[in-house]
Amino acid sequence: MLFTVSEETYGTGATAFDCSVIRSKEAYVPDFDGVHGQAVVAAPTILSFCAEITGKASHAGFAPEQGVSAISAAARAIDTLRLGRVSPDLTRNIGKIRGGLLTNIVPEACSVEGEIRASVHAEALDCLEETRQAFEQACDAFGAVLNFTSKCLVTAYHTPEDAPVVQRYFRACEKFGLKTEAVRTFGGSDNNILALRGISGIVIPSAMHACHSSAEYTIVEELVLLAELLTELLCL
């Protein structure tokens, strides 16, 4: 059993761990807001990006014509991008914007941060390039300078439903009278990291509900059942 730290920061602990010391090439990762019996067999690539825009400051009342508004360039770029659910398997979000100093100064700097999620890694990269081009074109139009950076936080994986790791879990669930189902999620987990290291795995329900909200809760009986399922998996 492997207990990782800092999963919420996109698998920091799992990334730092030396997976070569693990003999098993299969993994069960309890980290899903679902019902027991469900197996998460696919999760997305998640990319983060930051557009740092540099314009030119000037007095907004006396000489606005001499300035280049970094915020205006950012707004132009964002306006051209489709945000939210771009397609059934692709999302793009702008989550953070910083810019400007005072209301009477044409803003010289603005930074925009966001993320992209896609079930297919190549589609995430295509969306990232589309995003970069939108900011580049907007900056060119306003005469601003762009510094665009990105990072791949986790890489998409897909575990076939007929894989031994899935079928073993289903057999364990059936012993407890649970209905089995293969599902997909749009969240990342340590399993994304393990899959990159050659470990075939699935994410299973962890008795958490309304996760990532202020109303998150658990049910003791489900926690007990999770422990029993994990014990059964160790014995199969």
pLDDT tier for residue 20 given thresholds of 50, 70 and 90: confident
For domain 45-154, which architecture applies? 2-Layer Sandwich (3.30)
Please spell the DSSP secondary structure of 7-60, one letter per residue: GGGTSHHHHHS-GGG---SEEEEEEESS-TTEEEEEE-EEEEEEEEEE-B--BT
Q: What sign results for the dihedral spanned by CA atoms 54, 56, 57, 63?
A: negative
**Ranges in the chain annotated CATH 3.40.630.10:** 22-43+157-235
**Shortest CA distance to 112 belongs to which of 136, 142, 85?**
136
Q: Which CATH number, 3.40.50.1000, 3.90.850.10, 3.40.630.10, 3.40.50.300, labels domain 22-43+157-235?
A: 3.40.630.10
pLDDT tier for residue 224 given thresholds of 50, 70 and 90: very high
pLDDT digits (tens, 9 = 90+) for 108-165: 999 999 999 999 999 999 999 999 999 999 999 999 999 999 999 999 999 999 999 9
pLDDT digits (tens, 9 = 90+) for 163-191: 999 999 999 999 999 999 999 999 999 99
Q: Please count the other Cβ atoms lying within 10 Å of the Cβ belonging to residue 75.
A: 17
**Ranges in the chain annotated CATH 3.30.70.360:** 45-154
**Torsion-angle region of 44 (φ positive above 0: left; ψ -120 to 50: alpha; else: beta):** beta
